[in-house]
Amino acid sequence: MQKTIVVFLVLTSGLLSAQKMKIIEGDFNLLHEQNQINVAFVYDNMKLFKDNLSNEEYIKNHSAKLEEDTKGKGKSREKSWYASRELIYAPKFLELLNRYFHKDYDNFFDQELTNAKYTLIVDTVRVYPGWDAGIMKQPAKVSTILRFVETANKSHILAEVDCKDAPGNQWGSNFNNEDRIGEGYAKTGKSFAKLILKKAF
């Protein structure tokens, strides 16, 4: 029995990951005066894996390896990688962020709210996709800089939060990199909502 517990702890230790959120500057008082916030996702500064690969380097190398195995697979993989930003990452973040404001507060966050006075920029700076080999796995990790800015003057930062290593994990097996990364964005949205509610409300 004790051996079983030890094995379980070893296998699941990779699932445990601590997310760190730190307010760099500003506050969230703007949410008292404006209830609709535009959201923009930025991936220009994103680095991947421990090697700090740029997005372009990662896609080029990974797609080339896939093409060696199956013609066309690399191109298909590249399309799904970029599509995941709109189909998985952004929706996961927004769903969890809005869930905490839905019942008790009138604030709403969404993309394309171009008339909103303020914009939340979700700037992805580092992604580790993690891996899943069945009984052993590593969660994804997503690090972002979250900035509230004026929509008409995005250089005017009203608040900035450094969010490091949001874990992307699920119970059971998840062999899809994008799904694991998406859970990291969901965790970011949830933790950010809790931070805002704690500091501003």
The whole-number mean pLDDT for each consecutive block of 10 residues of the chain, a chain of 201 residues, reads 40 54 96 95 94 91 83 85 96 96 89 97 95 83 98 97 91 76 96 95 85
Please say whether the beta carbons of 86 and 165 come within 8 A.
no
Structural domain includes residue 50: yes
53/50 Cα distance (integer angstroms):
8
Note the pLDDT of residue 96: 96
**Phi first, then psi: what are they for 78, rounded to 5°?**
-65, -40
Helix (H, G, I), strand (E, B) or coil at 88: helix
H helices then E strands: how many in the chain?
6, 10
Domain count for the chain, please give it: 1
Q: Which amino acid belongs to residue 103?
A: K
Structural domain includes residue 15: no
How many Cβ atoms are within 10 Å of 86's Cβ, its own excluded?
Answer: 11
Structural domain includes residue 41: yes
Structural domain includes residue 1: no
Structural domain includes residue 11: no
Note the pLDDT of residue 174: 62
Note the pLDDT of residue 11: 42
Q: Which domain holds residue 91?
A: 20-200
H helices present in 1-149, as ranges: 2-12, 30-33, 55-69, 73-84, 90-99
Please say whether the beta carbons of 192 and 21 come within 8 A.
yes
Structural domain includes residue 94: yes
Structural domain includes residue 49: yes
Structural domain includes residue 149: yes
Note the pLDDT of residue 179: 92
**Taking the model in full, what pTM does it have?**
0.87
